[in-house]
Structure 1
Amino acid sequence: MTDTGFPPVRAHGRGAGWYRGDCHVHSVHSDGELTPEQLAAGARAAGLDFIATTEHNSARAHGAWGHLAGDDLLVVLGEEVTTRTGHWLALGLAPGQVVDWDYGVADALIAKCLEQVRTAGGLCVAAHPHAPYPTGSFLYAYEGLDVVEVWNGLWASDLPWNADNEAALADWGRGLAAGVRAGHWQPAMGSSDTHLEGQIGIPHTVVHATGLSTQAVLDGLRAGRSWIAGTSAVDLSFTATAAGRTAGIGERLTAGGEPVVVRARISGAPSATVAFHTDRGAVHRTALPDSGTGTAQWRTSARESAFVRIEVRDPRGQMAALTNPIVLA
């Protein structure tokens, strides 16, 4: 663990696996009410492996995280770029790097800023596309972004899933079929947008990475090797199998014309409903027992379905988890 300055870009001793992280967090260094020390403690208590510091239009918090990171908590440097016609997250910035924010969609400047982040190896995320306040609605084309934040927890204190998230998910879902068929689709992500105590990790993204490092986490997010959890109590696995081959979330399964068996294993979601979604919409639903632990299975083919993803909702319709797709070919 470093004592001062910028956090390390890698947590030692952490190999390939699934890591939980919250990529949209604010502190007293912008408009949040918590110190970095409080946020780090909250992240650990919430069972997170990584967080991203994303202050509004500023890098002044970057140097406050060095002594708070460790092999149990990776801190990714970032910024919430708060433009006049939508916000986006720049993740994986260099220490002290600030991305320009003073423009709107009519200025045609966002593409240059996105390219600056990507050139540095960073990730660009459309943030809370349907946020209910001025500048919050995302008016840029998604095509220029790497990832879309379809689940944002800021405005959902009592109910972690609201109408703004439902609209963001629907927008993303409508573009997913065309993107998959074109060979390039934007993964979904979920973040808490923490400003207050008790928000961190509600929701968060679970990503498969080759190790707990900034680059490995961003690579996993960019590839869609991830799913969104409402809390750390929820866990799942999701695979598709055909002709002796198996693929997981964000991967491509070549079925060779053979039947595809899609299987999800979920825990921590009492009495929830698991819905399988393809390019034909919701195609199959399975109820979980009161214990919240169970398996849902469905059969399809690459001819019938370009991809399969799942949503897990509680009896009130609140989202408990959702995945990026498995692509079928």
Structure 2
Amino acid sequence: MPNPGFPPVRTRGRGAGWYRGDCHVHSLHSDGGLTPEELATAARAAGLDFIATTEQNSAAPQGAWDRYADDDFLILLGQEVTTRGGHWLALGLGPGQVIDWDHGVSDAAIGRCLDRVHASGGLCVVAHPYAPYPSGRFMYSRQDLDVFEVWNGLWASDRPWNADNEAALAEWGAGLAQEVRAGRWRPAMGNSDTHLAGQIGIPHTAVLADRLDTAALLAGIRAGRTWIAESTGVELSLAVVAAGRSAGIGGRLDTSGGPVTVRAHIRGVPSADVGFHTDQGHVHRVPLPESGAGTAVWHTTARDAAFVRIEVRHPYGHMAALTNPVVLV
């Protein structure tokens, strides 16, 4: 049912397809410098379809965001839970819902907090686990959360990709092999952590969802049907084909033991370096032309690769886009 003063949980959207959104955004209602109107306007101008309002340790105020949602723009409710042992995002909260934040690792309270988010149908996201400030380093078990923020753009205006993000990506990537074999892996996502003008959408996460509503987007994120881009000027698709079947990002492909073809299409990254990553690490690279548009192809088998994912980097090594894996069996 509608909640007066809060944005709707569903909008018309375009039906099933890819939706781009930024799920780590702060307004002047916590420690950000922009109004909700300025943030919503900037998000739409950047080409985003949705954002999540994640104020520090507080709920989105009634009447602050509802007027800025539209048929083609969704606003999710969330919170950045800023604890003594690290920060995490609670996405998909109910109106006025606040998750307890006044605890640390030794309190053993985080489990109850995660349960509250899950009971609301929401997702729990490790936030900037290597942030270089007090409480920025994430000290809790990553295994208890649903999603891993490997790319945080807080300093995107001068450092679109930094050592903190590289460390987060390395940790997530190293854990994928074990998690895939265990049958449950945590997807990666990227967010801007916007506080000031010019930051929103740098980076953001593209989500394959049935429709533009909160439940559908959270389902897509939870399943890993997502990829991360530095801007909406970057376009990417990934398809893996074997034995007459195909799967996309976040999917699982039965290869029947036969050859596998991995094909990635990229636009918007001049002279990009496309890296193919598996449980064996970085196994193949394909350079793309100066035009920024091209196709990278690689061949493998399920015996040689438990999964495949790609990273698209600029010539100087900074990330432009990366995907969640396609699992091969």
Q: Given the two structures, how large is their TM-score scaled by the length of structure 2?
A: 0.98
Gaps of 5+ in 2: none
Superposed, which structure 2 residues align to 1:1-329 within 5 Å? 5-61=5-61, 63-329=63-329
Q: How far apart are 1:157 and its partner, in Å?
A: 2.1
What is the rounded CA distance, in whole Å, between the counterparts of 1:182 and 1:60 in structure 2? 37
Partners of 1:36 and 1:4 in 2: CA distance: 17
Provide the C-alpha distance between the structure 1 equivalents of 2:82 and 2:14, rounded to a whole number of angstroms.
33
What number of residue pairs does the alignment pair up? 328
Q: Deviations over 1:231-261 (max 9, x none)?
A: 0000100010001000000000000001000
CA contact (8 A) 2:59 2:98 kept: yes
- Asked if structure 2 preserves the Cα contact closer than 8 Å seen for 1:54 and 1:89, the reply is yes
Q: Cα 1:311–1:67, aligned 2, differ >3 Å: closer, same or farther? A: same
Letter in 1 for 2:172: W
Equivalent AA in structure 2 for residue 248 of structure 1: G
Q: Distance in 1 between matches of 2:278 and 2:130?
A: 23
62-71 or 140-149, which deviates more = 62-71
Q: Any conservation in 2 of the 1:53–1:61 contact (CA below 8 Å)?
A: no
Shift of 1:158: 1.4
Distance in 2 (alpha carbons) for counterparts of 1:159 and 1:264: 26
Preserved contact between residue 153 and residue 202 of structure 2 (Cα < 8 Å) = yes
Please state whether the residue corresponding to 1:112 is helix, strand or coil: helix
Separation of aligned partners in 2, 1:45 and 1:205: 16
- Distance, in Å, in 2 between the alignment partners of 1:63 and 1:303 is 55
Give every structure 1 segment of 4 or more consecutive aligned residues whose post-TM-superposition deviation is greater than 3 Å. 60-63
Q: Superposition RMSD on alpha carbons, in Å?
A: 1.2
Contact 1:3 1:66 in 2 (8 A): no
Q: Which amino acid aligns with 1:196?
A: L
Partner AA of 1:79 in structure 2: Q
* AA aligned opposite 2:16: A
Offset at residue 14 of structure 1 (A): 2.8
Report the CA distance between 1:275 and its aligned residue: 0.2
Separation of aligned partners in 2, 1:272 and 1:13? 32
**Offset of 1:323 from its aligned partner?**
0.2
1:55 partner SS:
strand
Per-residue CA distance 1:1-30 (angstroms, 9 max, x = gap): x99610000011531100000000000000
- Summarize the Cα distance change of 1:302–1:196 in structure 2 as closer, same or farther, 3 Å threshold: same
Whether the 8 Å CA contact 1:11–1:70 is kept in 2: the answer is yes
- 8 A Cα contact 1:63 1:95, kept in partner: no
Rounded Cα–Cα distance in structure 2 between residues aligned with 1:201 and 1:61: 23
**Alignment partners' CA distance in 1, 2:224 and 2:171:** 17
Q: Is the 8 A contact 1:53 1:62 kept in 2?
A: no
Structure-1-length-normalised TM-score = 0.98
Distance 1:326 1:15 in 2: 23
Residue 77 of structure 1 contacts residue 91 of structure 1 at CA under 8 Å; is this kept in 2?
yes
* SS at structure 1 position matched to 2:56: coil
SS at match of 2:168: helix
- CA deviation string 1:71-102 (max 9, x = no partner): 12100000000000100000000000000000
- Structure 1 unmatched ranges of 5 or more: none
Checking the alignment, whether the CA contact within 8 Å between 1:4 and 1:65 is kept in structure 2 is no
| Contact 1:3–1:67 (CA under 8 A) maintained in structure 2 | no
CA deviations 1:100-150 (Å, max 9, x no partner) are 000001111101100110011000000000001000110111110000000
